[in-house]
Chain A
Amino acid sequence: MLKNLNSKHIQRFSYKYLPQFPISPNSPKLGFSRSQIANYRSNFPTTIMSSSKTIVLRSSDGETFEVDEAVAVESQTIKHMIEDGCADTSIPLPNVTSKILSKVIEYCKKHVETPNADEKVAEEDLKSFDADFVKVDQSTLFDLILAANYLNIKSLLDLTCQTVADMIKGKTPEEIRKTFNIKNDFTPEEEEEVRRENAWAFE
């Protein structure tokens, strides 16, 4: 029966077929043959630390980027695409340019390489990387936000949105409009109303 199921099905109903205790290839008493174990391994690459599988990502302007799967699945969007079996050739990302995609990949790589911030040094290193990462011009920053949203990378979205929020902090409305090039579309009455409630903040 196992032979008739393809990889997609095994991934979906995996919990039924997983052995209940940790396996090692050299414990025959559990009753799994080497071939079965190898089959299991090739279908669940994410459960094994070192995987050699790579994913190809294609940006909107046609450039391709080859990345480790562990890095690619930082993006929930890409992760779902892989799980759904659309990742056989390359994954097209029509909403992301190559310039932005390369930056995103750089970010994901750094975050995957650093283990879960157990040591202070690693944590500070990551923080300074993040701080430098967002020192870009506004247009790039907004593109990064849009990319992080489209690719569903929570930590990058957090970082970039927080950066913009910090840019807003401490400024008066006029300064905010100038910084971000926003048109004031209030009518004079509306502006008066809003100011009346909120003027305490910047006067």
Chain B
Amino acid sequence: MPALVNYRGDDELHTGGSLCSKDSARLLCVYGPPCKRQRISDSYILFFEQEKKPSIEILPDEILYEIFRRLPNGQARSASACVSNRWLTVLSNVRASEMVHGSSDDVEMVQENDGFLTRCLDGKKATDCRLQSVAVGTSSRGGLGKLSVRGSNKVTKLGFTAIARGCPSLKVLSLWNVPSIGDESLIEISKECHSLEKVDISHCHSISNKGIAAIAENCPNLTSLTIESCKNIGNESLQAVARYCPNLQSISVKDCPNVGDQGVATLLSSLSSVLKKVKLQSLNITDFSLAVIGHYGKSITSLVLTGLQIASQKGFWAMGNAKGLQSLTSLTVVSCYGITDLSLEAIGNGCGFLKQMLIKKCCFVSDKGLVSFTEAAKSLECLQLEECNRISQQGILGALKSNLKSLTIVKCMGIKDLVHETPELTQCASLRSLTVKDCIGFGNTNLAIFGTLCPQLQNVELSGLCGITDTGLYPLLENCQAGLVKVNISNCVNLTDKVVVDLAKIHGGTLKVLNLEGGRRITDESLVAIADNCVLLNDLDVSKCCITDNGLSCLSEGVQIDLQILSVSGCSKVTNKSVPFLKKLGQTLVGLNIQQCNLISSGSVDSLVESLWRCDILY
């Protein structure tokens, strides 16, 4: 035999085929020309060597399992995991409860495995191998508490079985876009991980009711369940959850075509004493479910209803009229055709403790509804209206009669400047925060009215309004007795330096946050005024303004005690000369944005980065 294994490369080739019983060796002898040097590959040698030396590979998986059960400590387990794929697979299937020695030998290790560790597996890096290694590696170092797998089609049941067996302390499980995982994986996890508290499943098309029902049955501590875009999950899942999870506090179901009234109604009625947060989006539920919410929602504090296209006015009216939503403090309705004046009023009447309301894309709400709602909802503090195009100035002013603290209006096209001022205008002393964004028709008149009506404003955001000019803003600045703290006048192209100068002079003592982004007519003059007056300024954003190095030099000499965040991105006139000023400002800066400042060279940027090591610089 040694003669045949001629790896030293002697010139002789022995054709004695009978020495060896292996066919491949005989072939080599027969077909190789006799005087040529015999070259034998490495694997061939190993093949022979394996015959001589025994290998543990002859033992079947069950025996390996028995051996791994008796490994003394976490170190041995981790070392064994790195040996080969087969060892990793068998080792990761050993349950923690079946280990013979437990953690008695791990003197320094944490005795309780309470689930302290978190693992996030994304995309290409999410494989079964990684899951198995996580299961083995975390088991003796504190246990895996949170696992999230995103965007992978390589993980299979093998990986999840390993996680189930190795990590019984799993508390939070998130699966996003993992189409290869099906019910069997969830069933495995539910058999072992009884401490699951939060489950989040999104875009997993292979998971059906059986998987969710298994989790519900075996994990009584479930407090939060989120299901999104899973076409095979239906009413039975929600019914199983209703039956077996008495601690569920938060449920969110989005875009599951098989979920309907039956599931939602069962869930809400069974868990009425514990369920706090409910979010239902793009489901085929009807008025019936809304009525059930109204009757049984006594513990619900936050309710979000989005895209409910089948539910009509009757449903929302019934929801409000039932007067069962006694704990509701925050309500959000988006794109629901059933929200009309009538139903909105009923909701206002029925929810006595409602504090925050967001109405978006509900095109049937008009001024009348808004006014009656704000009159009825006595505790309302925050009102946000987005894309409700039937609302006009009158509705807003009517809404201001209540004790609102914060009003936000975004993209409401119905708001236009009044031709004449209405006679009855009561002051709104409670309004602290006003935000008007992207409303094309909003002009100086409206702004002036707000200015006179709301003396206690502290936060003002007027962005994307091309209809306002300096003259409109001045009354507001003048009338604010409380002193503005946060001002955002970004993307209002008709505002000039005068506004900023006035703002700095009047409110310089209280101003903390100022955003002038996109102000094409803002120049160094504004920066001079800010530098002279705004002592408490924390956050300044002058992106895309026409400022130059001079402005920044004045700013660096300014009275600001603690300027933490500065953004000059897109300011094309800022050059390398500003770098020393920025360094001076950098003594207090925590964040600096100099993106798209093309006249600052990369050398200067590097020196900035070096000297402002405490500051987070975007470039």
Using CB atoms and an 8 Å cutoff, list the residues of chain A in contact with chain B.
Answer: 137-139, 142, 145-146, 149, 157-158, 161-162, 164-166, 168-173, 176-177, 180-186, 190-191, 193-202
Contacts and interface: CB of A to CB of B under 8 A. Distances in A.
B80 A176 contact: yes
B419 interface: no
B68 A165 contact: yes
B63 A146 contact: yes
Closest 9 CB pairs of A and B: A197-B137, A201-B78, A139-B54, A198-B78, A173-B82, A165-B70, A197-B133, A180-B56, A194-B133
A142 B56 contact: yes
A180 B54 CA distance: 8
Interface stretch (B84-92, B246-254, B602-610): B84-92
Contacts of B138: 197
Max count, chain A CB within 10 A of own CB: residue among B68, B70, B83? B83
Interface residues of B, number: 44
Contacts of B72: 165-166, 169
B141 A186 contact: no
Interface in B48-106: 50, 53-59, 62-63, 66-88
B70 to A, nearest CB: 4
Nearest to A191: B82
A169 B76 contact: yes
A142 B85 contact: no
17 contacts: A138-B56, A145-B59, A161-B66, A161-B67, A164-B56, A165-B67, A169-B72, A180-B55, A181-B56, A181-B57, A183-B84, A184-B84, A190-B129, A197-B136, A198-B136, A200-B141, A201-B78
Nearest to A157: B66
Contacts of B83: 173, 176-177, 182, 184
Nearest to A170: B76
A185 B86 contact: yes
B84 A181 contact: no
Contact of A194 (B56, B73, B88): B88
B156 interface: no
A142 B54 contact: yes
B125 interface: yes
A149 B59 CA distance: 10
Most buried by B among A165, A166, A173, A184: A165
Contact of B129 (A168, A177, A193): A193
Given A145-B59, A161-B66, A197-B133, A168 B54 contact: no
Interface of B: 50, 53-59, 62-63, 66-88, 125, 127, 129-130, 132-134, 136-138, 141
A193 B130 contact: yes
Nearest to B136: A198
Contacts of A191: 82
B433 to A, nearest CB: 47
Contacts of B70: 158, 161-162, 165
Contacts of A177: 83-84
A137 B54 contact: yes
A34 to B, nearest CB: 49
A197 B134 contact: yes
A198 B71 contact: no
Given A190-B127, A194-B132, A201-B77, 5 more contacts: A146-B58, A161-B70, A181-B54, A181-B57, A195-B82
Residue of B53, B55, B57, B84 with most chain A CB atoms under a 10 A cut-off: B84
B84 A198 contact: no
Contacts of B55: 180-182
